[in-house]
Structure 1
Amino acid sequence: MPTEQVHSRTDRRLRTEERIISAAADLFLELGYRATTIRGIAERAEVSVGRVMSAGDKDVLLVRCYDRWIGQLQSGTYVLPARTRAATGAHSGAGAASAVQKHLLEIFLPFLEFFASHEDLSRDYAAALMRAVGKPQVFESLATDLQDQLSSSLASIGISRAYAQASAAALYDSYLGILFRWAASDMGLEEATEALSSSIAFHTQLRRPL
């Protein structure tokens, strides 16, 4: 009986946290980071301000929202609004490597497009990542899942498994670096896409052990 009560309390807490994150996500997208308040999140989630704060301050909540959105983008369950995609000049040429370059860029494009659709919020997210305490999923499980996708694609063109894994990690770091550079400059979606395309072109070169 005590075990059932513990599970019941845990389930209620998780459901409440889910409401809080959902409310925060809606408000961040509707109002932006600065105009969203803890009180507003509490009202939207129908919980107390203290209960929201127990789930995290605004920085933590924004990071948790992005963890959710990134996870949905990776799984294909988040649908971006209709948009015009940037030119991706690194696709010329034929052969397996060119096809893989296109495929790798397609893996990254939803994240770049999400950033472009919510530039101000994404800049606040980049700043929140610097301030927030803890380990966001974007650096943990989400990073692992995305790097596994990249590594499999690289291995498919004959790059050795060890090189594919190393290149996948480097590509992921390049992608994060481009996002942070975008957040701190007037870089746009097309420039970010071209920068990532260049990195992909380098890492899709066939490499053989020395």
Structure 2
Amino acid sequence: MVTEHVHSRTDRRLHTEEKIISAAADLFLELGYKTTTVRGIAKRAEVSVGRVMAAGDKDVLLVRCYDLWIGQLQSGTHVLPTRTRTQSGAAASARAGAAPPARTGARPTATSAVQNHLLEIFLPFLEFFAGHEDLSRDYAAALMRVVGKPQVFEMLAADLQDKLSSSLVSIGISTAYAQASASALYDSYLGILFRWAASDMGLDEATEALSHSIAFHTQLRRPV
């Protein structure tokens, strides 16, 4: 009986936290980080201000929202807006930069196919950042202030690196080197996002920078 009561209370707490994160996510996207208030989140979630603060301050809530969005992007459950012409052009130019263009009538090499696949894995994250640049800059700053280990550096990082590693192994790179390259690509991706957050870099430049990193890690032959 006591165990059932504890489980019930835990379930209610988790449900309330989900409502808070959902409300915070909606408001951050609608209003931005600076305009969103804890009181506004509490009102949207229909809970007390104290309950919101128990889940975390604005920095913590923003980081948790990005964990949620990144997880959805990785699983393919987050629906991105239709790519703009500029974004589509950036993706196309990046793909062209990631691998030499094939001769007319020639079949693309396995390496170039994997380069394109790796870039496509990263593009949703870059496009999300581009679609919410101000909020993403606030997120980068919040990561520096929040104490703890956001999922983006743990479970979400491991899942994404597994995808990258599998693609690298598929072109003949040994498992050990593929895992090391996947980790380096992930770090490159994070570094590009932080650089983007601290400068006037745009989607085209960020995509091109990541393409160069992908090209390096896929063109360099590894001993098996």
TM-score (norm 1): 0.98
Q: Which residue of the partner structure matches residue 173 of structure 2?
A: 159
CA distance in 2, matches of 1:135, 1:160: 30
Choose from 194, 198, 203 the match for 2:212.
198
Gaps of 5+ in 1: none
Aligned partner letter, 1:159: I
Per-residue Cα deviation, 1:34-70 (whole angstroms, up to 9, x for no partner):
0000000000000000000000000000000000000
Per-residue Cα deviation, 1:71-98 (whole angstroms, up to 9, x for no partner):
0000000010112321313233331100
Structure 1 segments (4+ residues) deviating >6 Å: none
- Aligned-residue Cα RMSD (Å) equals 0.8
CA distance in 2, matches of 1:182, 1:125: 12
Q: Which residue of the partner structure matches residue 69 of structure 2?
A: 69
Gaps of 5+ in 2: 102-107
* Percent of pairs with identical residues: 83
Aligned partner letter, 1:43: K
CA distance in 1, matches of 2:205, 2:113: 21
* 1:1-210 alignment runs, 5 A limit: 1-84=1-84, 85=88, 86=90, 87-88=93-94, 89-93=97-101, 94-205=108-219, 206-208=221-223
TM-score (norm 2): 0.92
Aligned residues: 209
CA distance in 2, matches of 1:22, 1:92: 44
SS of the counterpart of 1:204?
Answer: helix
Aligned partner letter, 2:73: L
CA distance in 2, matches of 1:176, 1:113: 14
Aligned partner letter, 2:59: D
